[in-house]
Amino acid sequence: MQKTPSRNGCQGKVVSVQGPVVDVKFVAADEVPGVYSMMTVETIDRRPVYLEVAEHAPGNVARCIAINSTQNIQRNAAANYSGKSIEVGVGDSMYARIVNVLGQPIDQKGPIASKQSRPIRSAGTDAKIQDSTQTGKRYEVLETGIKIIDLLFPLVKGSKTGVLGGAGLGKSIITLEIIHNIVTKHQGTCVFVGIGERIREGNELFFELSKHGILDKTMIVFGQMDEPPGARYGVAMTGAALAESLQRENKDVLLFVDNIFRFIQAGAEISTLLGRVPSETGYQPTLISEASEFHERIRSGYGAGGSVTSVEAVYVPADDLTDPAVVAIFTFLDSIMVLSRERVAMGLYPAIDPLMSSSANLDPDIVGHRHYRISQEILKIFHKYEELRKLVMVIGIDELSPSDRLLYDRARKLQNFMTQPFSVAEAYTGKKGYYVTLEETLKGCESIFDGKCDKTPEEALYMTGPLS
């Protein structure tokens, strides 16, 4: 609890309201609440509006960002400061509930009685949760049952994975399938943070989790696209605070974020509203520090506290991977899966482009030598296939040498083998979803390498589960 006793109970007056920016004036300079403190104002219709102090302006003014709508706030209304920053309830009562940025329930299932709370802004990285390299790392790979992910982008406990892609390439579906496949088996708990995306997606997630009986292991927090930037920005912090509180209870946490780009975008909106000059790239000057504030908070350490494994969907504006916000996000990720529009056009779901993506977790010390060898082999084949594909467009397939032809055919079979019907996409594909174990994936790849499938038509490997 961040209390500043001397300023407790201070009251200021609203002097201006400009959209989500509210200026509150205090009588004396030492009454002005610190940055990130929370104030409340009542509107004419007695609705509370929550304000977070963003900066101090001359004339004892606290310039605030509203967390909810500022409609009907009047000038001269009293703004009360209770000595705290924004806090959310934590603990067991938050399971199976959907809350907003302030930790208030939005699922119409009644009030939440939390015994403890935690500020959503942290005062810096928790020294107790040390970097895992200092405490002796033990790698534990979490199987997702998705062939291409388990093979090329293994989900290591405590690591950060990003699913990058432009609009409509399947980021949310991949995230949902990972939740569907691993939360049931995962011993720890799960936090889902919905940032700035469609409201209906909250519903879908809720029913998906209820259907599989995993809702009571999950905490859900939403700040969707209809909410003011303060809420969309803060909700990432709320999610981090929930994950942090579970981590402190020595639990292993899976943190899902859809979509972290919207957090950066909300930060940019706030920055513009506050009149800060954008950087050359058009984004807020604090882009990197905002991305790092979030990612450094959810880092893991063994020895003290549990781990946080995060899977973050990253929207890529105009499919441009060099977008500064996207770059700022992926510097913090261990694995990046890049979705490609070309693959979507070919119906190759999940549309992860293995050559554009990368993973630091693909290391023989983590995944073992056999897995590593197979993964490198498959990447080599895909590289060669890309070259051959361009050649074939010019000279035709019949001009390839017999060895190139063989490699070309096997590569296409591997490419098809990497597609998979998802349980959460049954409505789109009309096919039953498959869970494929890592062993089945590795065996399937070996069979294709060894020529055991040379006589199988490539279509037989498209959108299937394990190799039968």
What is the contact surface with ligand ATP in residues (CB under 6 A)? 165, 167-173, 197, 315, 349-350, 422, 425, 428-429
**Tokens found for residue 327:** 């770059």
Q: Which is nearer to ligand ATP, 52 or 258 (CB)?
A: 258
Q: Find out whether 181 and 153 touch, Cβ atoms under 8 Å.
A: no
Among 166-174, 288-296, 348-356, 430-438, the segment contacting Mg ion (CB under 5 A): 166-174
Residue type present at position 39? M
171 is catalytic: yes
Integer Cα distance of 425 and 433 in angstroms: 8
Supply the minimum distance, in Å, between the C-beta of residue 435 and ligand ATP: 14
Q: Which is nearer to Mg ion, 161 or 172 (CB)?
A: 172
Comparing C-alpha atoms, which of 357, 372, 349 is closest to residue 429?
A: 349
Supply the minimum distance, in Å, between the C-beta of residue 428 and ligand ATP: 4
For residue 449, give the 3-state DSSP assignment.
helix
Supply the minimum distance, in Å, between the C-beta of residue 275 and ligand ATP: 30
Q: What secondary structure letter does DSSP report for 109?
A: S
245 binds, among Mg ion, ligand ATP, none (CB under 5 to 8 A by kind): none
Q: Find out whether 297 and 121 touch, Cβ atoms under 8 Å.
A: no
Q: Which is nearer to Mg ion, 311 or 453 (CB)?
A: 311
168 binds, among ligand ATP, Mg ion, none (CB under 5 to 8 A by kind): ligand ATP
Point out which residues pair with 314 in neighbouring strands: 164
For residue 211, give the 3-state DSSP assignment.
helix
Sorted by sequence, the CB contacts under 8 Å of residue 356 that are 6+ apart come out as 321, 338, 340
Taking residue 224's Cβ as centre, other Cβ atoms within 10 Å add up to 20
175 makes contact with Mg ion (CB under 5 A): no
Comparing C-alpha atoms, which of 220, 197, 217 is closest to residue 99?
A: 220
Q: Which is nearer to ligand ATP, 283 or 422 (CB)?
A: 422
429 binds, among ligand ATP, Mg ion, none (CB under 5 to 8 A by kind): ligand ATP
349 binds, among ligand ATP, Mg ion, none (CB under 5 to 8 A by kind): ligand ATP
Among 38-46, 82-90, 164-172, 409-417, the segment contacting Mg ion (CB under 5 A): 164-172
Q: Which is nearer to ligand ATP, 162 or 170 (CB)?
A: 170
Binding mask of the shown chain, residues 131 to 160, with x at each position contacting Mg ion by CB under 5 A: ------------------------------
Q: Which is nearer to ligand ATP, 249 or 426 (CB)?
A: 426
Q: How many residues bind Mg ion (CB under 5 A)?
A: 1
- Name the E strands within 334-396: 335-338, 358-359
Catalytic residue chosen out of the listed positions 7, 13, 198, 341: 198
422 binds, among ligand ATP, Mg ion, none (CB under 5 to 8 A by kind): ligand ATP
Q: How far is CA 28 from the centre of its chain?
A: 42
340 binds, among ligand ATP, Mg ion, none (CB under 5 to 8 A by kind): none
Catalytic residue chosen out of the listed positions 25, 171, 299, 413: 171
Q: What secondary structure letter does DSSP report for 126?
A: -
Q: Which is nearer to ligand ATP, 170 or 444 (CB)?
A: 170
Integer Cα distance of 285 and 275 in angstroms: 11
143 is catalytic: no
**Tokens found for residue 322:** 């060099």
Residue, CB closest to ligand ATP? 170
Catalytic residue chosen out of the listed positions 52, 197, 244, 293: 197
Q: Hey, what's the torsion of the CAs at 316, 318, 319, 324, to 10 degrees?
A: -50
Supply the minimum distance, in Å, between the C-beta of residue 54 and ligand ATP: 28
Prior bond to 259 cis, omega within 30? yes
Secondary element (H or E) of residue 269? helix 260-273
For residue 217, give the 3-state DSSP assignment.
helix
Q: Find out whether 175 and 402 touch, Cβ atoms under 8 Å.
A: no
172 makes contact with Mg ion (CB under 5 A): yes
197 is catalytic: yes
209 binds, among ligand ATP, Mg ion, none (CB under 5 to 8 A by kind): none
Task: Return the active site residues.
Answer: 171, 197-198
Q: Which residues bind Mg ion (CB under 5 A)?
A: 172
